[in-house]
Structure 1
Amino acid sequence: MIELDGAVGEGGGQILRSALTLSMITGQAFCIKNIRAGRKKPGLLRQHLVAVQAATQISGATVTGAELGSQTLVFAPKAIKGGDYQFAIGSAGSCTLVLQTVMLALLHADGPSTVRISGGTHNPMAPPAQFLQRAYIPLLRKMGADIDIELLRSGFYPAGGGCIVATIAPCPQLQQLTLMERGERVEGYAEGIVAGLPASIALRELECVGLGMNWTGDQLRMRGLPGEQGPGNALLITLEYEHATEVFCAFGEKMVRAETVAKDAMHEARRYIASQAAVGEHLADQLMLPMALAGGGSFTADVLSQHAITNAEIIGRFLPVAITLEEGEQRSTCTVRATA
């Protein structure tokens, strides 16, 4: 039984999600205490509970402590089974974070899988569906995974109501990936998304991005969604390079100006551009785990967050790998190598 403390590092839900994924794949049971101790509302919220329930169903696990508000969980998996799965968060909790909990595990299933998740697809503190589609999944495909994600309906905080569907084929051994350079820019564009809100909000965001990034025409794209999918607003900035694509996102909120939303997204995009790194902060958090499962790999990132450092520690508890994080003046480097 691996014992974990959910209060270490950034003290958020990523510790639990990574532990669930690694436990299913390695077959090692774990006990985690102080779940999300670093958050204002500690313990399991809806999206974390659904992640546990999804992992339990997929792996036939024996679980104790799987209830709302629980700060202690014991998880003992069995074999990972492919199949058709449906999970409903019942709030604006993140569909993408639940999917990421089970996605890599289902590569080790006994057959193909389809996973349908309803809840939030665009909310703060979680990657939007387009981030998975454009940035994360293409890199998994380079490692040999056959995964596809479709956004059926957008769901914004606080209403939720969104839906994504993923299809996953078995791939028990990922290939190692070296991603030190991003290559030449292929395309860059911004999308102003509104649902149940005035189009002028997105247009102001796009105008601000146009001035700030010196973009015009087709680089500034208005996306109006049906009103019943809102109310909600998101601004996405997508930067496609030869070897990697990054997606930066900011969300509209009450009493926050559209120009402020645009500047928040541009801040992250500009930091990434200036760094010359292969990936941004959030993609760096998520690449470590598949690289560890592949037995090695490396990448450069504009920022290595406390989130990433914590994730590296959790991975090392389950897998025989060493993860080295080196911070440089403009960009940082992560190297994953097998130790056994």
Structure 2
Amino acid sequence: MNKDILELDGAIGGGQVLRSALSLSTLSGRPFSIHNIRAKRSRPGLLRQHLTAVQAAAQICSAEVQGVELGSQQLSFKPGAIRGGDYHFAIGSAGSCTLVLQTLLPALLRADAPSRLQISGGTHNPLAPPADFLQLAWLPLLRRMGAQVDMQLLRHGFAPAGGGAIQAQITPSPLQPLHLGEPGAVLRQQARALLAGVPGHVGERELARVARRLRWPQEDLQFAWLGQDEGPGNALLLEIVCERVTEVFSAFGQSGVRAERVADSAIDQAREWLQSGAAVAEHLADQLLLPMALAGGGSLTTPRMTEHLESSIQVLRKFLPVDIRASITDKGALLIELEA
């Protein structure tokens, strides 16, 4: 195995480049150095959730790390052996618990023993997959590939307060290739408005917008009232269950943003995917590439190439001897094929 230090330019993407590199370095045993971390973002460098991801990855494999501090744009990481165990990680803000879990999970599937993770911070915040997305969309596909993983949402945590927590149990298990050409027929759908310390009319307006634009019946619209101490916070989640895949689209209430505009964000994402005929939307596509590479192969269709997809492919190619091909199908979707 080549143990030369791999040099990465973090300017090719955002935090996803760092998280993918941490996962792949831990798995491959190859050390890396990265500069220009999140260089194109409004707040460049490491934020709290990135610090936690680095520290957590280092802990599960006894890595030697330099540059781990808030705002740092340079980092070096030299991994050791992956160890299962009982781990607790606190982000200390509303930084995403789910992104930290996604960083660690691939490596812990190849650990020397089962693991239990508890991560506290944000569970429902903008620019990160909510816990429901992992539970309903991502993890079922990993389990179809052979992963033995269970996850529980212990407490909701919205931005900016955080205070949420998730827990996961991971048993080391090999992954098998997965091929997703199309989603299949829609079997059922549900819109859920999560409300914590937020007036009920906010959720009512969001669900009314879903009913009008997507023509979903009343029985598919649901309120989820959370404890006052879990907020303030509001999220709209659209779950679409198809024969071969489940997708979850989300949008989050923010001060000064009308409820209808929040709903439109989730609705537009769902409509684009439904109209494309592709198997998975852009976020699920991005988050399936690394597990597929570890499985030695796989394929999926998604509406289009995105910055996250492109940067994920670049990082995978640097760490692993994997052939990744992208082409356009006769229906206009993007087909990505991986082969080790």
Q: Which TM bucket (shorter chain)?
A: over 0.9
Query: Distance between the aligned counterparts of 1:3 and 1:283, measured in 2?
Result: 27
Say whether 1:119 aligns with 2:156: no
Separation in 2 of the partners of 1:330 and 1:156?
37
Is the contact between residue 6 and residue 36 of structure 1 (CA under 8 Å) also seen in structure 2? yes
Alignment of 1:1-340 (within 5 A): 1-8=5-12, 11-171=13-173, 173-328=174-329, 330-338=332-340
Deviation of 1:326 after TM superposition, in Å, equals: 1.9
* Equivalent position amino acid for 1:210 in 2: A
* Mapped partners of 1:265, 1:40: distance in 2: 24
The Cα of 1:90 is off from its aligned counterpart by 0.4
**TM-score scaled by length of structure 1:** 0.97
Q: Amino acid of the residue matched to residue 159 of structure 1? A: A
Aligned 8 A contact 1:7 1:36 in 2: yes
Cα deviation digits, residues 133-174 of structure 1 (max 9, x gap): 011000000110011110010000100000000110001x31
CA distance in 1, matches of 2:327, 2:204: 40
- 1:61 alignment partner AA: A
On the 8 A contact 1:284/1:304 being kept in 2, the answer is: no
Instruction: State how far apart, in whole Å, the 2-side matches of 1:326 and 1:48 are.
Output: 32
Q: Distance in 1 between matches of 2:17 and 2:230?
A: 31
- RMSD value over aligned CA atoms? 0.9
Q: What is the CA deviation profile of residues 203-230 of structure 1, one whole-angstrom value per residue up to 9, with x for unaligned ones?
A: 1100110111111232000011001100
Mapped partners of 1:253, 1:77: distance in 2: 39
Name the CA distance, whole Å, in 2 between partners of 1:216 and 1:200.
Answer: 19
Native 8 Å contact 1:191 1:235 kept in 2: yes
Match of 1:176, as an amino acid? P
Count of residues in correspondence between the two structures: 335
Q: Secondary structure at the match of 2:167?
A: strand
For residue 314 of structure 1, give the secondary structure of its aligned residue in structure 2: helix
Cα shift at 1:41: 1.1
By how many angstroms is 1:183 displaced? 1.1
Q: Which amino acid aligns with 1:245?
A: T
SS of 1:58's equivalent in the other structure is helix
Q: Secondary structure at the match of 1:49?
A: helix
Gap regions ≥5 residues in structure 2 = none
- For the Cα contact (< 8 Å) 1:278–1:301, is it kept in 2? yes
Q: Which amino acid aligns with 2:148?
A: D
| Structure 1 position 280, deviation (Å) | 0.4
Structure 1: 5+ residue runs without aligned partners? none
- Post-superposition Cα deviations, 1:236-282, rounded to whole Å, max 9, x if no partner, equal 00101111000000111111111111111110000000011110010
Q: Secondary structure at the match of 2:250?
A: strand
Q: Deviations over 1:176-219 (max 9, x none)?
A: 01110111111111001110111110111001101111112320
The CA distance in 1 between the partners of 2:310 and 2:21, in whole Å, is 15
- Normalised to the residue count of structure 2, the TM-score between the two structures is 0.97
- Which residue identity does 2:84 align to in structure 1? G
1:304: how far off? 2.3
SS, match of residue 135 in structure 1: helix
